[in-house]
Amino acid sequence: MIVAIPLALCLLFAWAWGALTPGRLSPDKLVNALEKREESTPAIVAIMPKASAWWGILTPTAAAAPCQKQRCFCLAIRQLLGVWRLPAVTPTRPDGAVPVRSMALQFITRDGQEWRTGMNALPFFSVATPQGFYDQQMAGIPDPKTGKTRSGQNESVY
């Protein structure tokens, strides 16, 4: 009994680490699948090839005070910076082929506080599990001979 409990704990840790199931999906395998998708565009390194930035001053009003609780919006904001982006693996892809939109905001208040936020608009997420996401990434890697993805569709669909 004295040996069985530590042995069981060691086996549990080995299982959680993935040593007992080497074929199991791991964070390393998932990251490698994402990197393979990026490698499908040789000589181009761009995650956010199209973007626009803006700046301004945001002045809070007393009427809006009951609607919010963040200190950031109680103080007069000295500076507001924003970036709107279209992400893409391939910068030459037309804008309509990229369904994801991203926006980042930075608020700087008069007392020197800096607040940041970011938002992504995804039209859908077609898989429910990490394994499904991995399989989707692997299916989207173009075949070097034909240029088509393993799912049989053209790379520009993704």
Q: 42 lies in a domain?
A: no
Q: Over pLDDT 90: what percentage of the chain?
A: 6
Mean pLDDT of the 69-91 span: 70
Q: Does position 130 have pLDDT exceeding 60, yes or no? A: yes
The closest alpha carbon to 115, from 144, 81, 85, belongs to 81
Is residue 143, in this structure, part of any structural domain at all? yes
The answer to whether position 68 is within a domain reads yes
pLDDT at 10: 92
Residue 7 pLDDT greater than 90, yes or no: yes
Domain assignment present for 107? yes
The pLDDT of residue 55 is 83
How many domains does the chain fold into?
1
Question: Is residue 125, in this structure, part of any structural domain at all?
Answer: yes
pLDDT tens digits for range 47-67: 555 677 888 877 777 777 677
- Residue 154 clears pLDDT 60, i.e. is over it: no
pLDDT attached to residue 83: 84
Owning domain of residue 135: 47-157
Say what the pLDDT of residue 143 is.
78
Taking the mean position of all CA atoms in its chain, how far away is CA 12?
Answer: 31
Burial 98-130 (b: 16+ CB within 10 A, else e): beeebebbebbbeeeeeeeeeeeeeeeeeeeee
Q: Supply the pTM of this predicted model.
A: 0.41
Interval 18-32 mean pLDDT: 80
Domain membership of residue 9 (yes or no) is: no
* Among candidate residues 22, 20, 2, the one with its CA nearest the CA of residue 11: 20
Q: Is there a domain that residue 127 lies in?
A: yes
pLDDT above 60 (res 19) = yes
Question: For tokens 């803006």, what's the residue?
Answer: 54
Mean pLDDT of the chain: 74
Residue 155: predicted pLDDT: 43
In DSSP notation, 25-94 reads: --HHHHHHHHHHHHHTSTT---S--EEEEEEEEE---GGGGGG---HHHHSPEEEEEEEEEE--SSTTS-
- Residue 129 located in a structural domain: yes
